[in-house]
Homo-oligomer: A and B are copies of this chain.
Amino acid sequence: MVTLRDVARSAGVSPKTVSRVVNDDPAVTPETRELVRKEIERLNYVPNLAARMMRTATSEVVGLMTDVVATTPYSVEIVRGVQSALRKEGRTLLIANTEGDRQIEAGYWRTFRSHKVGAAIVATMFHREYDVSPEGFDKPLVMVNCFAADNRFDTVLPDDEEGGYTQAKHLLQLGHRRIGVVSLHEAIRATGLRHRGMLRAFAEAGANFDESLLERGAVGPFPDETFVAYEAAKRLLSRPDRPTAIICGNDMLAVQIYAAASEHGLTVPDDLSVIGFDDLPIFSAILRPRLTTVALPYFRMGEMAVDLIAGMKSFAGRPAKQHLVECPLVVRESCRPLA
């Protein structure tokens, strides 16, 4: 193994000078720098991270603490975003999956500390409040898809309010006025936010939202409850004044709206427009006509978390901030203009 010393000896300078070159310390003459660079190249010297870590008490590793986000189809995109951004900075990712267990989480904070990770990201599967207590962890910390009650950390969240607005606005612009809603469970934070956004879109359009067309809480955090959306949709579609469009709490619900519509002899989008939420690729693959939906920007949120961490070095001590990421409309073929 080639060490700093070897390079120094070979280049005829002191170890410290080599260290300066390696760390881009400006206080080295260009000639010396070039000389050392050559020698590093020639000897194929690779810095020993362990030794460096020991001195600096920090590493270029970022710890990602998640409940199940790293292992769940819905939210792995956060991990991808984090990784993609990290790679560009030459940093690496240590992943911790707590499975929602506080004890496991505590253990992982210890692991993070002993690995001297330089920063941590806390991400959850659902958009929600989360009470982090990173015992003894004093490096930059960013939360993704969740937030601390006291807002003491920088936070990246999907703009669900605006997402709800986007869903409704799209349908309203197409001329729909009787719009049904099959929402997620009320315990999910996104539900209320999106509802507010939707009402705002109605108000802007000078339209009135018929509360009786709202089917509440069709799906909770547990997949088993899912099928109630099918019943909800059937209730909506068997009304004499059935809606011309349905807003779904997520893409999975949309699948059931399709099924219910087909059951009623209705065609999407000719007789019924459907708009989803999430934009999961699997549903684009399955559904025909392809589902118009609003995307949950998980990848972007992951990237943004890394950007924030990078920025924290330069702006240490500034107050924590919530960053809302736009949920873009993805237009496909499941919504059509009302004649």
Contacts and interface: CB of A to CB of B under 8 A. Distances in A.
B72 A76 contact: yes
Interface residues of A, number: 54
Contacts of A319: none
Q: How many copies does the complex hold?
A: 2
Given A46-B114, A54-B50, A116-B49, A252 B83 contact: no
A59 to B, nearest CB: 8
A276 to B, nearest CB: 13
20 contacts: A44-B135, A44-B136, A46-B114, A48-B114, A48-B116, A50-B50, A50-B51, A50-B116, A53-B53, A70-B70, A70-B76, A72-B76, A92-B115, A94-B94, A94-B95, A223-B282, A223-B285, A227-B285, A230-B288, A255-B286
Contact of A79 (B70, B80, B281): B70
Interface of A: 1, 44, 46-51, 53-54, 57, 59, 61, 70-73, 76-77, 79-80, 83, 87, 92-97, 104, 107, 110-111, 113-116, 135-136, 223-224, 226-227, 230, 252, 255-256, 262, 281-282, 284-286, 288
What are the 5 A-B residue pairs with the smallest beta carbon separation, nearest first?
A73-B73, A50-B53, A223-B285, A71-B80, A50-B54
A286 B252 contact: yes
A50 B59 CA distance: 9
Contact of A46 (B79, B94, B110): B110
Given A51-B54, A71-B79, 5 more contacts: A44-B135, A61-B94, A71-B80, A72-B76, A92-B96
Contacts of A44: 135-136
Given A71-B80, A76-B70, A94-B93, A47 B282 contact: no
Contacts of A282: 73, 223, 252, 282
